[in-house]
Amino acid sequence: MSGKIELLNTTLAAAKAADRAALIAYLPAGFPTVDGGIEAVKAVIAGGADIVEVGLPHSDPVLDGPVIQTADDIALRGGVRIADVMRTVREAYEATGVPILVMTYWNPIDRYGVERFTAELAEAGGAGCILPDLPVQESALWREHAEKHGLATVFVVAPSSQDARLATITAAGSGFVYAASLMGVTGTRASVGAQAQNLVERTRATTDTPVCVGLGVSDAAQAAEVAGFADGVIVGSAFVKAMLDAPDEAAGLAAVRSLAGELAEGVRKR
């Protein structure tokens, strides 16, 4: 079975044709449980998310702030494994038909085996991978297998990335470019800032691949602001916080569905 990179591409193109940005939601696998995590992914899609990133929980994250770290810790203590991540992708995709990517640090893939990981992700109906800590110059093996299995390779660019570096990164990636709106770790912020718009403009000068912005977006107003200059708005910590703050799982699912609805409205009001 081939991966769903084409589904990802057509989903982003459809949002652009509708003159809006895509809403991309992030949730970690195995949080609050494996089954609960699968239901949470379905809930954000039911609320209006166009694309979902499923996080592979990691014990030593470099990009994730305290909210996502807390969720990852819960998932890891619950015994989450790569097989559970693949199950989350499979069941969410089969239930919704929406593009599902995995966001992961490189070490778990390296230990698992690149061929095995890409083959299983494609078989599960995955659309690709976001790899925040894999240097482009060390990514040839990954890209070879990802391409073979029909998976997107999404790299992260940051405000500190020089123009020549941006061109190198965007030439190697596919699906979309993940533009980190500011230097630092994930988390909701009062303002997403002008840095993000400048980064999107500089990135767009190097590629026709959609540029999606993450890190800091937490409400409809911020989603609308970012949707004014980006092809996609990525929201993670706000969804995870909604689950963490809920008194029980049912309330958490209702909260993330509701938040997805508000954010989906936001990306349409740019």
In this structure, the strands spanning 152-154 and 128-130 are parallel
CB 185 within 8 A of CB 231: no
Burial class (CB in 10 A: 0-12, 13-18, 19+), 79: exposed
Does residue 144 carry a catalytic annotation?
Answer: no
Provide the sign of the torsion angle of the four alpha carbons 136, 137, 141, 145, taken in this order.
positive
Question: Where do we find the tokens 């767009």?
Answer: 204
152 Cβ neighbours under 8 A, 6+ residues apart? 3, 5, 8, 101, 127, 128, 129, 146, 173, 174, 175, 176
Cα 13 from Cα 94, distance rounded (Å): 22
Angle at the Cα of 176 from the Cα atoms of 80 and 91, rounded to 5 degrees: 35
**For residue 4, what are its two tokens?**
């769903």
137 Cβ neighbours under 8 A, 6+ residues apart? 168
Does residue 64 carry a catalytic annotation?
Answer: yes
Mapped onto helix, strand or coil, the DSSP state of residue 81 is coil
What residues pair up with 213 in beta bridges, in sequence order?
179, 233
Q: Which listed residue (35, 39, 50, 53) is catalytic?
A: 53
CB half-sphere exposure, 103, CA atoms < 13 A: 26
Q: Which listed residue (39, 64, 72, 91) is catalytic?
A: 64
Closest CA to 18 of 234, 268, 201: 268
**Residues recognised as catalytic:** 53, 64
